[in-house]
Amino acid sequence: MPAAGEPLAFDLWLEPFALESGPHLPCIYLRGWWWGPAFERQRLAAGTVPVVHVPGQVVRRDLAAQARLREASEEVELPLELDPDIPTVLVIHALTADATVGGPSGWWSPLVGPNKPLDPTVQRILCFNNLGSCYGSFGPADHRFPTIADEVAARPTDELSVVPTKGDFELPLAVPASIGTYDQAMAIGRALDHLGIRTVDLVTGGSLGGMIALALASLFPRRVKRVAPIAANHRSTAWIRGFNHVGRRAITQDPGFPDQVTFGLEIARQLAHLSYRAEDGLSARQDPPPGQVLKGLPFPVQTYLEHQGRKLRDRFDARAYLAQLSAMDLHDLSRAPPLEWPLLERDASWSLERLRCSVRAIGIDSDQLYSPTRLCSLTEELRELGLDADYREIHSPHGHDAFLLEWDAMTEALTWASKEP
């Protein structure tokens, strides 16, 4: 068995494209993370721009920094052809994570490493910071990222005449242009092209990451062999969009919006965090002992939520947060992406029939944000279409975030999802 190399963080400068919402991106770059057999590391480093990535540190690039990255990208050795005999596992992160999926500071470190479900001694493990985020990939924290004003300018005239029947409101024109999971999946597809990876053996991710994984399998149905969405679905819901709407309003109504948002991002995070948990798990950890008199002190759950809000404020960009919310809201595999996108496979109607890969869906029984019944129903629908699809459910009191907490159950689930059909 080959030894695993040291994990490598790197940047890729990619060919830009127009977002599904209309605006054309002036540039695209993604920050990636690799862990795999040691003999591959040197070749990968020569064909990318290696970087020192600091988890939790927002990256903001002005024009000069973008120019330096582009110049460095012109010096890499291409074409980059990684060994096709090494299986590729692509992990896609959730809303506010980064590309560091494994290693000492990795958000999935109990699942990624030698002799773990995702094993870099026998697999090539990749993760990219999502388009529109703020941890090294092109996003609203960077110069030249388009806004709602650019999106409105790109819309057909007939779409601008649609008026809501009630509850009308306006978003500030400084809000980032809408990004969808198709956009994020297309950017990942271009990153895989750069790396010379033609086949992905397993794509997995939780929450928004699971949505993007499904979008990638839909955009490139013959490139992905197996997809394992976790606590996700093929289409967003009014329930998800409702939570996101309140969080979005908290941010855009902050007096410091768009550049100096503080309290608004904290409130948005507190609301979202409640949707990520479940009553039983939260009560077990945050309820005071029965009969205890607090005498004016805050309840444990209050200080817990304040802590969660401040943590995110200190490590994330509010505009990038809005961009990731829009990706959740727009997610719908039944909607076709833009016709001008250079997709080679448009032979099927745009629906679940696009999928060609095996599907191993993983739900969480206490998830109140992404109902596990929807993911189970998706699996049944895919089976009726003739696909190799199966479903497994994790039992946890902790709700949606169980995929970041229940390490024993996730070890079993990922081991199951990784098996060849």
- Give the Cα separation of 288 and 232 in Å (integer): 32
* In 68-213, beta strands by DSSP E: 88-92, 124-128, 202-206
8 A C-beta contact, residue 208 and residue 328: yes
Sheet holding 358-364, edge to edge: 49-50, 8-14, 28-35, 124-128, 88-92, 202-206, 226-230, 358-364, 389-394
73 is catalytic: no
- Give the Cα separation of 79 and 125 in Å (integer): 20
Cis amide leading into 258 (omega within 30): yes
Q: Is 385 exposed, middle or buried (CB count within 10 Å of its CB: 0-12, 13-18, 19+)? A: exposed
400 is catalytic: yes
283 is catalytic: no
Please pick, among 367, 396, 398, 401, the residue that the annotation labels catalytic. Answer: 367
Selection from 93, 346, 335 nearest residue 234 by Cα: 335
Please pick, among 194, 275, 400, 418, the residue that the annotation labels catalytic. Answer: 400
- Give the Cα separation of 147 and 150 in Å (integer): 5
Selection from 231, 234, 267 nearest residue 406 by Cα: 231
28-35 and 124-128 strand pairing:
antiparallel
8 A C-beta contact, residue 140 and residue 317: yes
Please pick, among 207, 366, 396, 418, the residue that the annotation labels catalytic. Answer: 207
Selection from 266, 121, 206 nearest residue 398 by Cα: 206
Side chain identity, residue 228:
A
Selection from 101, 347, 117, 80 nearest residue 198 by Cα: 80
Q: What is the DSSP string of 251-307?
A: HHTSTTTTTS--HHHHHHHHHHHHHHS-HHHHHHHHPPPTT---TTPPPHHHHHHHH
- Give the Cα separation of 287 and 275 in Å (integer): 17
Q: Check residue 116 and report its DSSP letter.
A: S
- Give the Cα separation of 388 and 59 in Å (integer): 41
Active site amino acids: 207, 367, 400
